[in-house]
Amino acid sequence: MKRLGVNIDHVATLRNARGEKHPDPSNAAIKVVEMGADSVTIHLREDKRHINDIDTKKICNLKNILVNLELSMNENIIKKALKFKPSYICIVPENRKEITTEGGLNLNKNKKKLKSIIKRFKKAKIRTSLFVNPTLKDINISSELNIDCIEIHTGKISNLVKLKKNYINEFKRIKKCSIYAKKLNIEVHAGHGLDYKTTKILTKIKEIKEFNIGHYIIGESIFFGLAKVIKNFKKIIKS
Ligand code: PXP
């Protein structure tokens, strides 16, 4: 069974636009799970541009909600994550000027640091994941790091599909990496830039077990409502 994680960062973006309390991301976490999401994803960025510490604490304390916390390798954020105890973490690269996460981690450069971070989360019994580019080299390093899951960055295939360009080579790359990761006992997830069309294409890769989708779900919800959009994605993922 493939799972849907709903990223609710942009509920916080909307809240922050007014600097007040509405809409409350912790309420969004409860609602998306009621509407069928299997888990909730939030990214506690160092610049706190959307989700902040209070949101993270509140959301991680919600009962019966699986929380996937995205975080960088920043020690302050890691300490907070270990304190808030989400169900899952996904380590992502962070760059101050980026609008959103632009690619996978540089695993080769950060091997040693990642290894010790992963160990700390595993000791706390938190499921660990790395946001990676679809290359066999990165899958090998992920395996060396003893990671539970990888999330493949799907930004490139998403852009190709949106621009109606040929996405077959990127699809094959993602498929090859997914098959290889599964063989190495790593659970495969996919995320970034996904809409209905790209998600549908990627469901053909049976090794992908989880999709983490944010911007498109929140954007479509303005027109059709969260319940309808989550229902549509669940249907696509099941197909
Ligand atoms: N997965 C990861 C690791 C991410 O960093 C992001 C963006 O925060 C997403 C998934 C969701 O991407 P999008 O908002 O484009 O659906």
Range list of β-strands (E), the chain: 3-7, 39-43, 67-71, 88-91, 127-132, 149-153, 187-191, 208-213
pLDDT digits (tens, 9 = 90+) for 169-183: 999 999 999 999 999
Cα 166 to averaged position of ligand 1 atoms, centre (Å):
23
**Total number of residues shown for the chain:** 239
Q: Which atom of ligand 1 is nearest to the CA of 194?
A: 16
Question: How many Å is the maximal CA-CA distance in the chain?
Answer: 48
Does the pLDDT of residue 84 top 80, yes or no?
yes
Cα 194 to averaged position of ligand 1 atoms, centre (Å):
8
Q: How far is residue 223's CA from residue 106's CA, in Å, rounded to a whole number?
A: 37
Q: How far is residue 32's CA from residue 227's CA, in Å, rounded to a whole number?
A: 8
Q: Please give the residue range of the domain that contains residue 197.
A: 3-238
Handedness of CA 45, 8, 212, 187 (dihedral sign): positive
pLDDT digits (tens, 9 = 90+) for 94-143: 877 777 777 899 999 999 999 999 999 999 999 999 999 999 999 999 99
Q: What is the CATH number of the domain that holds 143?
A: 3.20.20.70
Q: Which atom of ligand 1 is nearest to the CA of 151?
A: 3
67: left (phi over 0), alpha (psi -120 to 50) or beta: beta
Q: How far is residue 221's CA from residue 26's CA, in Å, rounded to a whole number?
A: 17
Residue closest via CA to ligand 1's atom 9 equals 192
Task: Say what the pLDDT of residue 164 is.
Answer: 98
Q: Name the burial class of residue 195, with classes exposed (0-12), middle (13-18) and buried (19+) by CB atoms within 10 angstroms of its CB.
A: middle
Q: How far is residue 67's CA from residue 85's CA, in Å, rounded to a whole number?
A: 9
Q: Which residues line ligand 1 (CB under 6 A)?
A: 7, 9, 43, 70, 90, 92, 100-101, 131, 151, 191-194, 212-216
Q: Which two tokens stand for residue 82?
A: 């270990």
Q: What angle do CA 102, 108, 114 make, to 5 degrees?
A: 85
* pTM value > 0.85: yes
What confidence category does residue 15 fall into, taking pLDDT thresholds of 50, 70 and 90?
very high
Of 73, 65, 57, nearest in space to 40 by CA: 65
Q: How far is residue 62's CA from residue 64's CA, in Å, rounded to a whole number?
A: 7
Task: Say what the pLDDT of residue 100 is.
Answer: 73
How would you classify the pairing of strands 88-91 and 208-213? Answer: unpaired
Q: How far is residue 147's CA from residue 199's CA, in Å, rounded to a whole number?
A: 24
What confidence category does residue 21 fall into, taking pLDDT thresholds of 50, 70 and 90?
very high
Task: Say what the pLDDT of residue 7 is.
Answer: 98
Measured CA to CA in angstroms, residue 216 lies from 81, 103, 191, 204 at distances of: 26, 18, 11, 20
Q: Is 192 a catalytic residue?
A: yes
Provide the domain count of the chain: 1
The mean pLDDT value of the chain amounts to 96
pLDDT digits (tens, 9 = 90+) for 192-221: 999 999 999 999 999 999 999 999 999 999
pLDDT digits (tens, 9 = 90+) for 33-51: 999 999 999 999 998 889 9
Task: Say what the pLDDT of residue 127 is.
Answer: 98
Does the pLDDT of residue 239 top 80, yes or no?
no
